[in-house]
Amino acid sequence: MKKDKTQKLRSLFVGIGLIAAAGLILAGCPSQQGMMDTREAAQKVYVAPGEHDEYYGFFSGGYSGQLSVWGLPSGRFLKVIPVFSQDPETGYGYSEETKPLLQTSYGFIPWDDSHHPHISQTNGDADGRWIYINANNTPRIARIDLQTFETKEILELPNTGGNHASSFVTSNSEYVIGATRFSIPYEMDLDVPIDSYSEEFRGALSFIELDPETGMMNMGFQIIVPPYNYDLGRAGKGVSEDWVFFTTYNTEEAHTMLEVNASRNDKDYIAAVNWRRAAELVSNGHGETMSAEYYHNYYEGNQGFAINDVKDQVTVLTPEDGQEFIYFLPTPKSPHGVDIDPTGEYIAAGGKLATVIPVHSFSRMIEAIENRDFEGNVENIPILSYDATIAGEVENPGLGPLHTEFDGRGYAYTSVYISSEIVKWSLETFEVVDRIDAYYSIGHLMITGGDTKNPDARYLVGLTKTAKDRYLPTGPKQNHPAQLYDISGDRMELLLDFPTIGEPHYAQAIRADKITQNVKQIYEMEENDHPHALLRIADNRVERDGDVVRIYMGSTRSHFRPDNIEGIRVGDTVYIHLTNLEQEWDVVHGIAVKGAQNSEILVAPGQTKTLKWEPTRTGIYPFYCTAFCSALHQEMQGYIRVSAADSDVSLVWRTGTN
């Protein structure tokens, strides 16, 4: 007994000693907190009530599948735009209009993993017209209209497993890119043994054409490449604007235990693609048409039901000897990010297992191509010599560099995951000039106005992977943090730290005035081309066609028309087409029906939305407006009578006479 106690005491002292020693060591280190005087920091992020932020921040939702919108620098949460996941709050993916958007060649998919939002560009600058974002799991790209902040279009990518290197746009929004992170057999639904990987599996790099007027996507062509993992991509700028770049890892061609098996090679590649040349080759008939099944979902008019345009072909381009449109740049250790500086000259790779940040030079790359400075060739893709393209290696970047953005003043900022910090380095000397802690384990970072020719580099946002003790604890799973840094001076300074939604990967921020000038306040009733719109309130009615009942309902403050409906029968399929006839900004009505196996549906002013309801029991079903629309919102309700399947209650509808 006595001995036991002494032992416990001894181990306690040892423990305390260790903690004290650790404390001393830690205290001895220079602080990298970089937090400016709290009052000064507060002033920099304070946006007075009623005033607006200078920037919109668009943060990917990661495993939420959505896109969240923030005001910066205040960190004010503005909105979640539902994109790849159903959203019962708004009825997105539940209303008949939006359900087709989530349709794929695998059926209706209620969820995805959204990673990299990218704003459309004109002359290398973000123009604020649309924002594209990728779905990683079931490969797709969505277009969100920044006049209404709504998802308007989703395109599925064939021959793709894990669309991660997406959805980056070229300098004049000619293309948005996608790629396969997980190489798969590219012939449709090919059933082969997994260990036939090297023979049967291939990568596909996708080039999706964008319509300059509407932003609409069209699957342009895919380039078939060796079976590596194509991880991230970026379009070139300025001098390199005809090029896009993709990182690869798993050049080992492993198909199991990649953690080990894909980390063996000293160098993997950055694939540099001259998209203009590739597109020329395709238009000159060098592509091949392959069968493929993929969905293209969009709205034909202003409103109505999204349609599913099912495609059965895709054009693929397989590199042939002498075509010279794609090259491999050897790059150390499973690079993750590939980021292009504002001039388009520097190509920085985030060698996540490397001890340096390798930076390639675009002009040296072109020179190497001209001098035929090749080390070899894989499947007709020339491999350039590392020494010929490299411009510099940034030493001591910390452990696990991932992504880089640029301030346009000669500096780059790289997120470093394992050592949980941001390093600032010079594009002239390739030396680290400043570093600052991230809380904790940073993934992407973004600079306001970033990934353009003219970054408006006031702030930097770091998007980190764990919150741990940063906020009031909220259980074993907490939301992911974002940290805002002031980068206008020589040193980075931490200003603000706030939790986000989902798991933001990449984010973009744009000067607010580029968007506010175009934001719509209402949907014009005059432009409502929904096939079941109620254009005049007096036309409200109920129509039966066999077992299908359509209720043409209108809402204005504070009633529905009609609000008493009888003659619905068990077994009917009821469509409630609700038109919000208001023409006033932000006056929203909603509808929910008791027992409907569906979400509520929110309807913006001037919009028509459809709730599908299949009543299974007889009785009286109240329905009501779910949005607190007006002083008499509580009165905004109605009743639907559901009778037995064989009943002969006639179809009637009423409003206003008790």
Partner 1 sequence: MKTESRIAMGLAAMLLAGLFYFPFWTIDMSAPQYPEGIGMYIHIDDVTGHKRHDLQSINTLNHYIGMAEIHREDFWEFDVMPWVIGFLIVFGLIAAAIGSMKLVITWIILMVILGVAGLVDFYLWGHEYGNNLSPDAPIKVPGMTYQPPLIGCKQLLNINACSWPYTGSIFIGLSMLFAGGVIWYENKFINKSDEDS
| Interaction site with partner 1 (CB under 8 A) | 522, 556-558, 582-585, 631-632, 635
Phi, psi (deg, nearest 5) at residue 214: -105, -15
Cα separation, 59 vs 507, in Å, equals 4
CB atoms within 10 A of CB 480: 21
Please identify, using beta-carbon distances, which residue of 228 and 523 lies nearer to partner 1.
523
Shortest distance (Å) from residue 658 CB to partner 1 = 11
Shortest distance (Å) from residue 524 CB to partner 1 = 8
* Dihedral sign, Cα of residue 234, residue 235, residue 240, residue 246: positive
Cα separation, 372 vs 420, in Å, equals 40
Angle made by CA atoms 548, 552, 558, in degrees to the nearest 5: 140
DSSP label at residue 395: S
Please identify, using beta-carbon distances, which residue of 93 and 605 lies nearer to partner 1.
605
Spatial contact of 578 and 587, defined as CB atoms under 8 Å apart: no
Q: Are strands 335-340 and 346-351 parallel, antiparallel or unpaired?
A: antiparallel
Please identify, using beta-carbon distances, which residue of 276 and 557 lies nearer to partner 1.
557
Spatial contact of 528 and 539, defined as CB atoms under 8 Å apart: no
Shortest distance (Å) from residue 585 CB to partner 1 = 7
Please identify, using beta-carbon distances, which residue of 308 and 583 lies nearer to partner 1.
583
Please identify, using beta-carbon distances, which residue of 320 and 524 lies nearer to partner 1.
524
Shortest distance (Å) from residue 607 CB to partner 1 = 14
Q: What is the CA radius of gyration of the chain?
A: 28
Burial of 381 (0-12, 13-18, 19+ CB in 10 A): buried
Please identify, using beta-carbon distances, which residue of 543 and 635 lies nearer to partner 1.
635
Please identify, using beta-carbon distances, which residue of 121 and 556 lies nearer to partner 1.
556
Please identify, using beta-carbon distances, which residue of 471 and 585 lies nearer to partner 1.
585
What DSSP string runs through 416-444? ETTTTEEEEEETTT--EEEEEE-SS-EEE
Amino acid symbol at 398: G
Helical (H) or strand (E) element with 45: helix 38-45
Shortest distance (Å) from residue 632 CB to partner 1 = 6
Burial of 228 (0-12, 13-18, 19+ CB in 10 A): buried
Look up residue 307 and give its two tokens. Answer: 């349609």
Shortest distance (Å) from residue 629 CB to partner 1 = 11
Shortest distance (Å) from residue 557 CB to partner 1 = 5
Spatial contact of 239 and 364, defined as CB atoms under 8 Å apart: no
State whether residue 197 is helix, strand or coil.
Answer: helix
Shortest distance (Å) from residue 643 CB to partner 1 = 32
Please identify, using beta-carbon distances, which residue of 320 and 584 lies nearer to partner 1.
584
Shortest distance (Å) from residue 583 CB to partner 1 = 3
Please identify, using beta-carbon distances, which residue of 38 and 657 lies nearer to partner 1.
657
Shortest distance (Å) from residue 351 CB to partner 1 = 52
Spatial contact of 86 and 80, defined as CB atoms under 8 Å apart: no
Look up residue 454 and give its two tokens. Answer: 């003219």
Q: Are strands 217-225 and 307-317 parallel, antiparallel or unpaired?
A: parallel
